[in-house]
Structure 1
């Protein structure tokens, strides 16, 4: 049997693709991650029209349509049926059946199943320094659905503690039992648990995995803890106190939908599209309030994006990762009903190494104060070890007689960053200075010894100083005060300038973010990087707003979250959207609302760019656009707008000011005047200022 293509052009001209989830390893400077692998031979079929509430007569009608279609192509009972987020099924079909299916009426998309990697990378480093400074309240009564690798209910981040506040009213999810998971593992904090494996394949799962919602990989636990981990949790690693932790919305509840699995070869870990769509369908039926997908995929409107459309129509705030392969893919989740979040870096703990005479170099790190002699790792090679291996601080390559009680200067590369500090600790080193060999990012990982990570130029200068002064003491300290300047992560995927909507919507911290881990990983806490961490932050902010403003629609919450961001200097809006998200709930009062029915109407008419979204992506053929703003505050307010940042175009907004009563809406028109040079990008923002102090930023990209 010949291999089936991974995509088909169907229905109203929508291209349903089986696209790569952005592999994080290559993007984060590690070994290359695999492309999407074929799953268990399933074909995903989406029928035209929306899903409906489970158990209704309309749901029975959808099942009858599916049965008729399956009978028409001679197929048996499908592996999965979907009736809530969308109308469709996943089934093993032959090439002949797929060919027949393409000619059946009422088909929206056909897609081959694929296994896609998660959009984050976990570091099981030892924790030093202090954890996050948490807020104590926020998110009560709200359920965040996390489609990921499961959850570790034993973590104190998810304990059923006093002070969780009001219980959710809408949530109707179940607690599905399985290996290592009983009904008692669901509590007032972890309110739901489901798992989906038939797409990935039971025979492809590693032996240590659990056929339940129990997390083995650790990724889902970290994401859920950042979004909704309990406040004031003591972080202890190896018997040491490392401060206290709390999620963005610490009173929010978590519903785990395990659709991502570990394979015998870790390079095969990932999430079958069929399993993910099934998880989304279940989450919509369960009535979650916020839905987090820390996995990329969907540069076009594919099966998953159609399922997420159903979630948006059900008044759920949907948050998706933009992905981490900026060199090979555009931002994922291109659909305007998904809040797509990319990664920012630079806002990290910082450390400094100082030498006699006043010279000092600053990089990433969270070290305690250390003073001692420094040694270049390549000059401290153990007997039988090469200078190359010693320079990279590989385990067993350092001579403890030359390293003991010293600050060891290790070169980046070859092995993981935290493995280097562990090698230094095993050789009795006091601390580590990690130096980049080539231009690249620095991090603030949690290391086995106090560590400062220097960029390439600073690393070379410090290494030369140590070589000339081998017996002079140096000092390592934590940099107090403001964190480093934020910038868009170089691996964070940017938006497609030819897309229907501007992506990503915003960025958030995505480098060395602390989160909880399952006990089975060997650590209770670790850091992770990638747009997974950024989505967790955005989901927590959405939960805060939903709890504070229960009358706001999901579209209003989405608008309020992304327009509250602050732009990052010298970064295109196609890389950052509206900018870096804040650490607290927004307090502006101006929103861009979209009715639940408008999403599908725009998709059918191929007019997604005309939706009332809080961003604009205008081509040469578009010189005007219209948007509507609504005062969602409790008092009348005066709002004025300014166009900023454009370099080769004049952008005019009319009217320049409006006075809106609570709930009142006003239309405004954006007009672009300037050259239409092919391939030229000009971008900026519209900034609305409210009389009560609120700031609402609307990113604009002109793709001429």
Structure 2
């Protein structure tokens, strides 16, 4: 690794010679040769390197920054424009792409709803390794300790612990089984001073993603001096391998992941033999070098999971390839609480508190101003604005605005208040934050109703209690991108909760909320690890089961949600639409993806499409099919039923007839029901 960094640093000096020869300014280029890497073919690395040498010889044998032989056959090297033209004309070369930097798929604005603090799953994922191509890891968190109870270890994993600053070889353990880092593409001179030239995470994103996917179970969460529950990742017994290819810059807006570093990390993860690969980075449309590297990972029987991106108003979902499970973000659930006025109204808002309080006197913050504080500041419960003589032992009503919501509850606690009702003063969402005292946040209409009651009665007492979470789910986040209706593939494949997710961070806080399709992808990567741990299923089967057992989100278009919300209990899965792994490269080279046995269907106007379902169960079973949800077209499925023995496959045809309406998308589902209660859904989009 250190040698590759040195090569990257030296390439600038070497580029001077190239510039003199070619007459242009050299820039780092990603060169991919035709054919697969070792993961998808029978050619050994020596022969692949010899082919690379032949290409390099035609441009004066410049020193390479990186070489890749596993996930793809290629290299990164600085070339002048004249040298690029020579390489592009070589029939051995499949693609030439300039190195670029992509952002991580996290939303930078705090989204503090629906954190994952609940009774976590205690087991799941044993024997599986999740590779995380991200900003590294903060290994000191108890979520990543090599604790007893991790279950069986991985069998055929070949990864090693790459060392660096503040990351000695002893950092790896039974939980963190390998590590690596690549910076030459991003540029070591561009990183912030707090960064580490090692797998250690300074940004926090990689640590959050790893904790959600596979953090150890039963870890106590302490925020603001209080224990608020226990945390565990989706697959708490899975091992993790952080591959750091994303870096922090002096200006956080410049944080990102260079494509040359990303490809290097994917190549290493593929060579190591991870079972699931999580990539929290989006990308442009088409099959670029990163996408080709992910194909090589899929050819190595790795379940590849990637974030769809967060710019849904400007771009379509990233990773449009059929070998990638692309994940969009759905909205989570809001925990609710109730304010019951003794002798008056009962109001419901957002609350993390689960306790039922005895009748407690409620005072308005504006009526409890401390000496020297203004009524406005006291109404907003600013620190030091409340008079403890008026608030001690009481619930305090605080208006939203002026300062942070959590800061208000801390001000109430400092004034010896025992609870808070937080009222919106204008239209807007209510948020189930973690507060210093039990709190219910009310919408603006309910807040006005409560304050009118208080002002018209001499004394107001309230009871506060928790009620079941209410899903605002049922819809995809507005910023989560939809699929391109002009494509041949429905993307995203699935969605998962991607707002206000709790995860570990590498600073003194220990925990923080984050959001984005990277948070959603982490959940799906964990779900893939659970499936690989429970079953002897190849990656295409896992990919299909994740999509076809997802739960549809109401009336959302399938181009917004794919198969629906993933991560439900899939132990009853009986059918899968299985793709032979070599077919991925065949359709890439032919450009004809229509007959690929994908777990979704995209039809242009009218026509017929065939798919094949395979019985995953251990005994014969009868399955029946039904087309549902379509409003503008007639969709027929033939045959409507099949009896399949274990491992047996049946072919069915989907025929679409009806009007062609420009600009409109009709969609629905082919639903297969099994005699033993299983449900398999294949999303269908009909576009113009």
1:354-376 per-position Cα deviation (integer Å, ceiling 9, x unaligned): 44554344343312556553546
CA distance in 1, matches of 2:638, 2:114: 53
1:447-500 per-position Cα deviation (integer Å, ceiling 9, x unaligned): 444444445655666676677779744444322366555322222211111122
1:277-328 per-position Cα deviation (integer Å, ceiling 9, x unaligned): 1111110000000001122224322221111111111100011111222111
**Deviation, structure 1 residue 433:** 5.1
Counterparts of 1:679-698 in structure 2, within 5 Å, are: 679-698=663-682
Does the residue aligned with 2:466 lie in a helix, a strand or coil? strand
**Deviation, structure 1 residue 221:** 1.6
Counterparts of 1:292-331 in structure 2, within 5 Å, are: 292-331=278-317
1:681-701 per-position Cα deviation (integer Å, ceiling 9, x unaligned): 111111110111111111111
2:242 equivalent to 1:244: no
CA distance in 1, matches of 2:174, 2:653: 47
Match of 2:475 among 479, 482, 487: 487
More deviation, 658-667/200-209: 200-209
Cα pair distance change 1:656/1:306, threshold 3 Å: same
Does the residue aligned with 2:293 lie in a helix, a strand or coil? helix
Does the residue aligned with 1:625 lie in a helix, a strand or coil? strand
Does the residue aligned with 2:573 lie in a helix, a strand or coil? coil
Q: Is the 8 A contact 1:631 1:660 kept in 2?
A: yes
Q: Is the 8 A contact 1:130 1:244 kept in 2?
A: no
Could you tell me which residue of structure 2 aligns to residue 7 of structure 1?
none
Match of 1:610 among 584, 595, 607: 595
Does the residue aligned with 1:587 lie in a helix, a strand or coil? coil
**Deviation, structure 1 residue 381:** 11
1:521-546 per-position Cα deviation (integer Å, ceiling 9, x unaligned): 12222322221221111111111111
Cα pair distance change 1:651/1:424, threshold 3 Å: farther
Cα pair distance change 1:131/1:670, threshold 3 Å: same
Cα pair distance change 1:83/1:482, threshold 3 Å: same
Tell which structure's C-alpha radius of gyration is larger. 2
**Deviation, structure 1 residue 669:** 0.3
Could you tell me which residue of structure 2 aligns to residue 630 of structure 1?
614
CA distance in 1, matches of 2:305, 2:529: 11
Counterparts of 1:83-482 in structure 2, within 5 Å, are: 83-121=69-107, 131-367=117-353, 369=355, 371-373=360-362, 375=364, 407-411=396-400, 418=406, 442-454=430-442, 458=446, 472-480=460-468
Does the residue aligned with 2:543 lie in a helix, a strand or coil? helix
**Deviation, structure 1 residue 594:** 0.6
Cα pair distance change 1:469/1:93, threshold 3 Å: farther
1:632-677 per-position Cα deviation (integer Å, ceiling 9, x unaligned): 1110111111111111111100000001111111100000011101
**Deviation, structure 1 residue 183:** 1.2
Could you tell me which residue of structure 1 aligns to residue 564 of structure 2?
579
**Deviation, structure 1 residue 236:** 3.1
More deviation, 96-105/670-679: 96-105
Tell me the TM-score normalised to structure 1 length. Answer: 0.85
Cα pair distance change 1:374/1:385, threshold 3 Å: closer
Does the residue aligned with 2:499 lie in a helix, a strand or coil? coil
Does the residue aligned with 2:217 lie in a helix, a strand or coil? coil
Could you tell me which residue of structure 1 aligns to residue 630 of structure 2?
646
**Deviation, structure 1 residue 347:** 2.2
Cα pair distance change 1:599/1:439, threshold 3 Å: farther
Cα pair distance change 1:322/1:126, threshold 3 Å: closer
**Deviation, structure 1 residue 411:** 3.3
Q: Is the 8 A contact 2:386 2:411 kept in 1?
A: no
CA distance in 2, matches of 1:102, 1:415: 57
CA distance in 2, matches of 1:435, 1:93: 60
Q: Is the 8 A contact 2:115 2:502 kept in 1?
A: no
Q: Is the 8 A contact 1:129 1:242 kept in 2?
A: no
Counterparts of 1:6-17 in structure 2, within 5 Å, are: none
Q: Is the 8 A contact 2:612 2:651 kept in 1?
A: yes
Cα pair distance change 1:255/1:276, threshold 3 Å: same
CA distance in 2, matches of 1:430, 1:300: 57
Could you tell me which residue of structure 1 aligns to residue 515 of structure 2?
529
CA distance in 2, matches of 1:503, 1:255: 27
Give unpaired runs (5+ residues) of structure 2: 1-25
Could you tell me which residue of structure 2 aligns to residue 25 of structure 1?
none
More deviation, 560-569/259-268: 259-268
**Deviation, structure 1 residue 437:** 6.8
Give unpaired runs (5+ residues) of structure 1: 1-39
CA distance in 1, matches of 2:174, 2:274: 14
Could you tell me which residue of structure 1 aligns to residue 539 of structure 2?
554
Could you tell me which residue of structure 2 aligns to residue 503 of structure 1?
491
Q: Is the 8 A contact 1:128 1:450 kept in 2?
A: no
Would you say how many aligned residue pairs link Structure 1 and Structure 2?
658
**Deviation, structure 1 residue 446:** 3.0
Cα pair distance change 1:104/1:122, threshold 3 Å: same
RMSD of the alignment, in Å? 3.3
Tell me the TM-score normalised to structure 2 length. Answer: 0.87
Q: Is the 8 A contact 1:602 1:610 kept in 2?
A: no
CA distance in 1, matches of 2:41, 2:634: 54
CA distance in 2, matches of 1:236, 1:466: 35
Q: Is the 8 A contact 2:398 2:408 kept in 1?
A: no
Cα pair distance change 1:177/1:612, threshold 3 Å: same
Does the residue aligned with 2:99 lie in a helix, a strand or coil? strand
Cα pair distance change 1:205/1:700, threshold 3 Å: same
Q: Is the 8 A contact 2:114 2:332 kept in 1?
A: no
Does the residue aligned with 1:43 lie in a helix, a strand or coil? strand
Does the residue aligned with 1:349 lie in a helix, a strand or coil? strand
Does the residue aligned with 1:565 lie in a helix, a strand or coil? coil
2:500 equivalent to 1:512: yes
Q: Is the 8 A contact 2:111 2:499 kept in 1?
A: no
Does the residue aligned with 1:319 lie in a helix, a strand or coil? strand
CA distance in 1, matches of 2:492, 2:367: 43
